[in-house]
Structure 1
Amino acid sequence: MRYVFQGVLMTLERAGEVVRKFFTFGHNLTGIAILIEKSTAEIIGFAGLFPCTALGVDDFEIGFLLARQAWGRDIAVGISQAQLAFGFEQLGSGRLLGLAGPKNRPSIHAPKKSR
């Protein structure tokens, strides 16, 4: 949470807005989905491709959020590899955005390591 949602807890109302806007429901191929540790069935984060207009046009943003216990295990690299392949090969996107704050080095390096 240090680098997402301005690093502060959300109100219940704001959390509902975020879930409805960004999470995957039904047959949508894009949006954020829950990441689960197979061995424990524990939720370890969220990841997905979701619509983004940061550059003034319709793009998709690579997004992930990992619980602290999932850090340092190259999970973000695997997520980035899967998102890049899905976005370019399955969705036919010409560009995918990876937005991260300048202090968020792990999130900046994960897509770079996945090339």
Structure 2
Amino acid sequence: MIETERLVFRKYTTNDLALLFGMTNDPDVMRYIRHGRPWTKEETIESLNRFIGWNEDGIGLQLAFSKEDGKLIGHSGLIPQTVEGNQEIEVGYWVIKEAWGKGYGFEQAKAWKEYGLSQLGLSRLVSLIHHGNIRSMKVAEKNGMKHEKDIDFNNKNIALFSIDIL
């Protein structure tokens, strides 16, 4: 199990629909995710099933909880993506609105970057960030990633940040 100084992570289960829907139903959290608006319950169920499936392969999103009080902070992990026809692994992170501005985005991103590079032996990681999401761009940069280029992804022009270890 991965953990940080303040956070503990766990894989999604079918019992986590309410936790995930609490995040996907918040317009502020979802502003820069996928289509930029809250997800329907059906979209959330579909995504939950995908998250559970990813975790069977040792990669995927996991819920992040505060060690101090056990409250949900967000979710994060390593996400398989197809970018311009290439298979990539994305460091992804969400933080619930109540926990914004406390360094949890970086704490999650750093943990997953280190896990991917050192435990999984990956040599490249990316973060796909919607333009305007300045906080996430700063997290990626602080996490050692550089803006590689802008790309079209899921019918949106977004920023591709990356880190390569040779």
The amino acid of 2:44's aligned partner reads A
- 1:35 aligned residue (64, 70, 73): 64
Q: Select the structure that is richer in strand.
A: 2
5+ residue gaps, structure 2, are 1-29, 145-166
Once residues 17 and 43 of structure 1 are traced to their aligned partners in structure 2, the CA distance between those partners, rounded to angstroms, is 21
Matched, 1:93 2:96: no
Structure of larger gyration radius: 2
Is residue 55–residue 61 contact of structure 2 (8 Å, CA) maintained in 1? no
TM-score w.r.t. structure 1 length? 0.87
5+ residue gaps, structure 1, are none
Matched, 1:15 2:44: yes
Between the aligned residues of both structures, percent identity stands at 29
Instruction: Summarize the Cα distance change of 1:104–1:19 in structure 2 as closer, same or farther, 3 Å threshold.
Output: same
TM-score w.r.t. structure 2 length? 0.63
Is residue 24–residue 33 contact of structure 1 (8 Å, CA) maintained in 2? no
- 2:74 aligned residue (45, 55, 61): 45
The count of corresponding residues between Structure 1 and Structure 2 is: 115
Is residue 78–residue 114 contact of structure 1 (8 Å, CA) maintained in 2? no
- TM-superposed deviation, 1:46: 0.8
